[in-house]
Amino acid sequence: MRVDVVDPSAFTPPYDRSLSAALARAGADVRLVTSRFGYGEVPPAAGYAVDERFYRLAPGRPGSRARRAAKLAQHVPDMLRYRGAARDADVVHFQWLTVQHLDRALLPRDRPVVLTAHDVLPREPRAGQRRAQRRLYDRVDAVVVHSRHGRARLVGELEVPAEKVHVIAHGAFDYLTRLPREEPLPAELAEVEGPVVLFFGLLRPYKGVDVLLDAWREIGAAELWIVGMPRMPLGPLRARATPSVRFLPRFVDEARIPALLRRADLVVLPYREIDQSGVLATALAFGRPLLLSAIGGFPEVAEAGAAELVPPGDPAALHRALRRLLEDERRRAALAAGAREAAATRYSWDAVAARHLELYESLLRENARP
């Protein structure tokens, strides 16, 4: 079976490349069609081809106004050129389609098209965006979501036909545990001797960092590390922080991630909303105990014994849970064991690839009907 995994903007290289490698291990002929990732290294291709045909003109810095304008100008011609190239594939699986009102008309024809809804619905929708996303879901043959919660939202809120929406878990990023080169902790972190609670990932309002900082008050027997590139003002967050909070507000390349995760005694994700999370997938791969908001697909991870849950937006409940887990090494060890087991079973990429191949084969059978 020839499968194109398509992420025009290279939004999620770890996901794209982990899925492509797992599909290839399972026997598929896989081509990853994407653009060059501008922020750092990406996992090497393992058993699949890579075609960086999108957005070859890339002026300015990643994320700059010039880069965004160039991408928008190239989007339609690049999508049309890819539509011709897609004839080489049996199944086309898009990971992201970000110009919904245009993309519906630009998708390949005469072969099954799958779309993964990494963001089930827009968090801050522009005018008409939800309607455009609903029309896009109409155009594809199947939609993949990472949780039962995501499926319920698409079926209940957007009225996407239930038979079109398929739940396939987000795999644990275990390739990060086997990097050929790992960087040590930055000097300012390596000297820390006590317990460490880690918040990791892009800093955005929906991730509840403010709630975490409020919950951290009067917790003095550990350090809280907040690590990631800011996508929001840092001043109000720093104003909430106690002396036991350290900020590393920068992009962290892959070689530096293992040291951070291995040092963490607890990973906390106090999000206000989410379906599933790449940071969570990373923590599972490293077998870290997790404290999560009870939202989106997070309760499904707790069901696997890998996490404890607190209500979203509740600093008092988060404070109590942090204190209890920091004082209970045995409970953290049990959660860590649950995380390792989950990463090796339901959240393994081989299991994820097997589910995808079942979906692709069913679509091909339907497509072959007279």
**Among the ranges given (234-238, 339-343, 353-357, 364-368), the one the predictor scored with the smallest mean pLDDT:** 364-368
For 166-224, how does the pLDDT look when each residue is reduced to its tens digit (9 = 90+)? 999 999 999 999 999 999 998 889 989 899 999 999 999 999 999 999 999 999 889 99
Q: Which residue has the higher pLDDT, 309 or 130?
A: 309
Q: Which 8-state DSSP code applies to residue 203?
A: B
Summarised one tens digit per residue, pLDDT across range 270-327 is 999 998 999 999 999 999 999 999 999 999 999 999 999 999 999 999 999 999 999 9
The closest of 256, 283, 133 to 187, measured between CA atoms, is 256
Global confidence as pTM: 0.93
Rounded Cα distance between 274 and 322, Å, is 21
Q: CB neighbours of 29 closer than 8 A, spacing ≥ 6?
A: 1, 2, 3
Structural domains in the chain, sorted by start: 2-171+348-367 (3.40.50.2000), 181-344 (3.40.50.2000)
Side-chain-facing half-sphere of 254: CA atoms under 13 Å: 19
pLDDT value at residue 220: 80
What is the rounded CA–CA span in Å between residue 268 and residue 280? 9
**Sheet holding 142-145: strands in order across?**
49-51, 29-34, 2-7, 91-94, 113-116, 142-145, 165-167
First to last CA, the chain: 20
The CA-based diameter of the chain, rounded to the nearest angstrom, is: 69
Q: Is the pLDDT of residue 358 over 90?
A: yes
pLDDT band at 125 (very low <50, low <70, confident <90, very high): low
